[in-house]
């Protein structure tokens, strides 16, 4: 399926905004420690999904994960074609960072869950699937040139993303059980 270029550009712009907000939120949460402090420090409204039903949380998370997937795909697609070695190095680094962002977003969406259902693992699984699918959609070889080096950089980004998401998920799960 081919998308018109105007929709591609609009999706790129939207995803840039969403990814920017997600990165800022995650960084703020990492530096400030608690979401309450984040709200106090950054002045950003505190959005909690604590009382929201599982399907709605899943929808909200899926939208964010889709934006992350589209963003990762767009960044890696462009930088993997760059002639500058430094920019090409950003591909696996972006994969690593996006893995962290995904698990962070899943944690935010499942915070306060009290059921037996393994929500964090389920959300992360859905998120990995969405990011993979949307990235591969952008990496299709019909879009731009696809030499061996370019495909290798893209596969590196996906591998680093999957590795960082899996490791962080396991660490989070262990931390949750302590």
Partner 1 sequence: MKKNGRLPEPISSRLLLAAALMDAVFVLFVTRLIGTTAIEHLSRLFTTIPPEALWFGVFACLLMIYAMISDIILGGASLGRIVLGLRMRDTAGHPVKAGRRTLRAIKKYSLMGLGGIRLDSAASYDKSTGITWFSEMAPRGYRHPKTWQIHVITGKNKKTTHPIGKIARFASKGIIHIGRDPGWADIVLPQNAIKASGRHCMLRYHKGELYLRDGDENAKASSNGTLINGKRLPSGKWIGLRGIQQFNAAGVILKIDRFD
Residues near partner 1, by CB under 8 A: 116-118, 121-122, 124-125, 128-129, 132-133, 136, 139-142, 146, 148, 151-152, 154-156, 158-159, 161-163, 165-166, 169
CB of 89 to partner 1, least distance (A): 16
3-class DSSP assignment, residue 49: coil
Which whole-number Å values give the CA distances from 116 to 113, 119, 120, in the listed order? 9, 8, 11
In terms of Cα–Cα distance, which of 114, 11, 155, 143 is closest to 71? Answer: 11
Tokens representing 146 are 């696809």
CB of 147 to partner 1, least distance (A): 10
Query: Which of residues 5 and 116 has its CB atom nearest to partner 1 in the complex?
Result: 116
Query: Which of residues 52 and 121 has its CB atom nearest to partner 1 in the complex?
Result: 121
Rounded CA-CA distance 14/12 in Å is 6
Query: Which of residues 90 and 169 has its CB atom nearest to partner 1 in the complex?
Result: 169
């Amino acid at each position: 399926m081919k998308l018109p270029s105007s929709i591609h550009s609009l999706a790129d712009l939207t995803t840039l905004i969403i990814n920017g907000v997600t990165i800022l939120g995650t960084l703020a949460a990492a530096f400030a420690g608690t979401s309450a402090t984040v709200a106090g420090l950054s002045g950003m409204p505190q959005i909690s999904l604590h009382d929201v039903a599982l399907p709605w949380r899943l929808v909200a998370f899926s939208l964010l994960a889709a934006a992350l997937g589209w963003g990762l795909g767009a960044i890696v697609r462009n930088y993997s074609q760059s002639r500058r070695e430094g920019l090409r190095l950003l591909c696996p680094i972006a994969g690593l960072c996006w893995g962290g962002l995904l698990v962070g977003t899943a944690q935010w969406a499942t915070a306060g869950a009290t059921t037996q259902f393994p929500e964090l693992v389920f959300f992360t699984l859905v998120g990995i699937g969405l990011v993979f699918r949307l990235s591969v959609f952008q990496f299709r070889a019909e879009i731009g040139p696809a030499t061996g080096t370019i495909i290798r950089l893209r596969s590196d980004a996906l591998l680093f993303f999957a590795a960082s998401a899996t490791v962080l998920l396991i660490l989070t799960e262990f931390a949750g059980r302590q």
